Amino acid sequence: MKVKNCKFIEIPPIKDGIDGYLTVIEDTKHIPFEVKRVYFINHLTSKFALRGRHAHRQLEQVMYCMNGSCTVSLDDGYQKQNISLNSADKGLYIGTNLWHTMSEFREDCVLVVLASDKYKEADYIRDYQEFLRTAAK
């Protein structure tokens, strides 16, 4: 990875032949934190849809694209990187102080996000200039 504070977390599915796949995600075993919240994003019908555009001070997250695909643009304040998420068994860990934007949602994309804490608006950095100042510290 070119940017800091991120990595792929791959979880191989249990393949049950004609009966499909089963994938298990256990916190602390697969996820590097205790999962306190799960949310999902769907109905991404517009090709102009754009989500994220913020960083978190403390929150850690792992994002799975359960269906379809999307692009996650990451920026650690120094380096930028675009990542294509297109497989249910390859999640993206997004650590702290990482500006992230999700776009280019395709084929009925469904994102499932596991988070290390409950929703706290105060944990968001939504101003890009403030993010750059925080990243430089």
- Give the catalytic positions in this structure: 54
The DSSP 8-state label assigned to residue 53 in this structure reads: E
List binders of ligand TYD among 112-131 (CB under 6 A): 119
Sign of CA dihedral 123, 74, 72, 12: negative
Question: Which of 30, 51, 90, 106: binder of ligand TYD (CB under 6 A)?
Answer: 51
Is residue 55 a contact residue for ligand TYD (CB under 6 A)? no
The DSSP 8-state label assigned to residue 125 in this structure reads: E
Spacing of C-alpha 61 from chain mean position:
6
User: Where does this chain touch ligand TYD (CB under 6 A) — which range of 11-19, 37-45, 66-74, 79-87?
Assistant: 37-45
Is residue 32 a contact residue for ligand TYD (CB under 6 A)? no
Specify the residue, 15 or 120, whose C-beta has the smaller distance to ligand TYD: 120
Report residue 125: phi and psi, to 5°. -110, 105
Minimum gap (Å) between residue 18 Cβ and ligand TYD: 36
Is residue 104 a contact residue for ligand TYD (CB under 6 A)? no
Q: Which secondary-structure segment (H or E) carries 130? A: helix 128-135
Q: Which residues contact residue 36 at a Cβ distance below 8 angstroms, ignoring those fewer than 6 apart?
A: 115, 116, 117, 118
Minimum gap (Å) between residue 22 Cβ and ligand TYD: 27
Question: Which of 8, 39, 40, 78: binder of ligand TYD (CB under 6 A)?
Answer: 39
The pair of three-digit structure tokens given for residue 6, joined into one six-digit string: 């991120």
Q: What residues line the site for ligand TYD (CB under 6 A)?
A: 37, 39, 41, 51-52, 119
